[in-house]
Structure 1
């Protein structure tokens, strides 16, 4: 389908299609939703929501009762069918292709919005990543995951493991931060529960000193988990801004200033890089090593928000076979940085 030609011939097609798609997508994610909530979350007037829900009902895409609208099987089927049309109409496919070329990575998938300000865009980041890894998983895979709110969002939207693949989810780094929900162990557990598969835990602080780590490795389970990290088939990870990660790791102001003055803009698995991808500092970090990171066969990075743009550019320099999932805000900032 030539979407651009169709839009030029019927200008209103674009807005109507995007509006209906986003209503269906929201219902698919949230379940039964009332008109007022849809209006508030999608920033569309209640009158327009009412009219669109009626149209979707006539097409047998949604069911409506006193509690609100619920997506039906036909609606779910067409969400998948229309995904690429939606992305093209939003110019997200073209934007992703431009950034893929600029960064020199395997693929860049761009989702609509600014995930640092909009929960809807934030969930879309997780959904897009979930779709990619669902089709990339293979029987017998060891899959590593880092922590963070963004990684946790993936677990919420992952499809069930209908292929009944034998998978093992493994935390790729130790516990970091006070929020247990977003630590790598918790993310691994959530993803494994959704996929109905095995998982390991790494009950060790991310900054555990070598002496303590050597003692812990005497435990057979921890030792085996560490061995499995050397055998990962896939890694799903988030990118940290250097300044924020230094603060989270408890660096004092003098140390933080020295590292940032070296040009550090990004952090991954305890290593800090400048915008050209050159390592400028490495902190104590439990989990996969940089050498491991560079040799994992399949690697997916997820990040959003304009404030992460420099960090994304930086980390993209580490591997040309990386797949990036970013939001529109980060994408536009990266394009502006190129200029």
Structure 2
């Protein structure tokens, strides 16, 4: 089935994205009918312009009808919606290991790349290739504000993006956090800019360190260019992010020794969005930082996590207690095998 999908995508590159988008529109209308376009836009976090095009098409196919109260599914629409669920399930079919991992992590979809990216740069590059492909499969047509975190996995994804991703889409990329003071090539700001260049999209920069004191952060938030970037983050309807090994992220963030010892004592295993969490997904410490907070992830409709390597297995498993169930994950066998072994 995967080979069939690959062949079809050469002819219809947006096939899965369109199917997934229209299915989600029917799903939301089914749950909230009757619902107006503005309310639908708010629930799906998509522009009214994009939804107007899609709902007009669905209405022309006899799947929707409109009344003063809003849109509802026709009897044909209900039938097609039920049929689409099975079709999408087959089209997006995961192999047994991917399906098992997705169920174990309680997330929507998972793609596993052969190998261990901790041991091989070629595996890391394959993570980036598969993440870019998933990005194309997941997103429908329309305008997207894409929030991007940093790290080597996201940098690999950026390198494998192309202008084809912008067919019938417009992207504005925005860093989801400030700088961590390490290699420029894996900073959120650099990756956001590279993704914009690769896809022909726009970029909004954030030239601020992530490890400032809360007092300084509060002062800088009122600076106009920083306020503009923070406002763009709040508009994000797509998120590309990674999950970090707690000890590695302590070093990257150059945390003070007393804080490192505190986190080790609290058995922190992972980090995401400035939050350190233990094996149960309990947040044991939260840093003052610019950017998206961990609570923002649930409201963003299109969220792809890219995290591989055996060193991240515990972090990925722990984060699954926090991650929303619509999460899509790209990982590798190094992490997946350890998670599945428990």
Deviation at 1:279, TM superposition (A): 0.8
Q: Is 2:280 the counterpart of 1:297? A: no
Which of 313, 328, 332 is residue 327 of structure 1 equivalent to? 332
TM-score normalized by the length of structure 1: 0.71
Which of 199, 202, 208 is residue 204 of structure 1 equivalent to? 208
Which stretches in structure 2 are left out of the alignment for 5+ residues?
A: 14-93
Q: How far apart, in 2, do the equivalents of 1:257 and 1:210 lie?
A: 21
Task: Work out whether residues 178 and 207 of structure 2, in 8 Å CA contact, stay in contact via their aligned partners in 1.
Answer: yes
1:96 match: 98
2:53 match: none
Q: Is 2:265 the counterpart of 1:261? A: yes
Q: How far apart, in 2, do the equivalents of 1:119 and 1:109 lie?
A: 18
2:310 match: 306
Q: Secondary structure at the match of 2:290?
A: coil
Q: Is 2:136 the counterpart of 1:148? A: no
Which of 280, 284, 309 is residue 280 of structure 1 equivalent to? 284
In structure 2, do the counterparts of structure 1 residues 227 and 134 end up closer, same or farther at CA, with 3 Å as the change threshold? same
Deviation at 1:179, TM superposition (A): 0.8
Q: How far apart, in 1, do the equivalents of 2:222 and 2:256 lie?
A: 32
Deviation at 1:126, TM superposition (A): 0.4
Task: Work out whether residues 124 and 153 of structure 2, in 8 Å CA contact, stay in contact via their aligned partners in 1.
Answer: yes
Q: How far apart, in 1, do the equivalents of 2:280 and 2:254 lie?
A: 25
2:230 match: 226
Can you list the C-alpha shifts for 1:88-136, whole angstroms capped at 9, x where unaligned?
xxxx822111111111111111011111111221111001110011233
TM-score normalized by the length of structure 2: 0.70
Alignment of 1:64-83 (within 5 A): none
Deviation at 1:321, TM superposition (A): 1.7
Task: Work out whether residues 208 and 284 of structure 1, in 8 Å CA contact, stay in contact via their aligned partners in 2.
Answer: yes
State which structure, 1 or 2, has the greater radius of gyration over its C-alpha atoms: 1
2:60 match: none
Q: How far apart, in 2, do the equivalents of 1:150 and 1:277 lie?
A: 22
Which one is further off, 218-227 or 193-202? 218-227
Deviation at 1:145, TM superposition (A): 0.4
1:186 match: 190
Which stretches in structure 1 are left out of the alignment for 5+ residues?
A: 4-73, 81-91
Deviation at 1:311, TM superposition (A): 0.2
Deviation at 1:77, TM superposition (A): 5.4
Task: Work out whether residues 117 and 308 of structure 2, in 8 Å CA contact, stay in contact via their aligned partners in 1.
Answer: yes
Q: How many residues align?
A: 256
2:132 match: 130
Can you list the C-alpha shifts for 1:208-230, whole angstroms capped at 9, x where unaligned?
22332333333322111101211
2:142 match: 139
Can you list the C-alpha shifts for 1:243-276, whole angstroms capped at 9, x where unaligned?
1111222223332122122121000011011111
Q: How far apart, in 2, do the equivalents of 1:119 and 1:184 lie?
A: 20
1:115 match: 117
Deviation at 1:178, TM superposition (A): 2.3
Q: How far apart, in 1, do the equivalents of 2:208 and 2:161 lie?
A: 27
Q: Secondary structure at the match of 1:272?
A: strand
Q: How far apart, in 2, do the equivalents of 1:177 and 1:238 lie?
A: 17
Which one is further off, 180-189 or 127-136? 127-136
Q: How far apart, in 2, do the equivalents of 1:158 and 1:135 lie?
A: 13
Can you list the C-alpha shifts for 1:51-77, whole angstroms capped at 9, x where unaligned?
xxxxxxxxxxxxxxxxxxxxxxx9x95
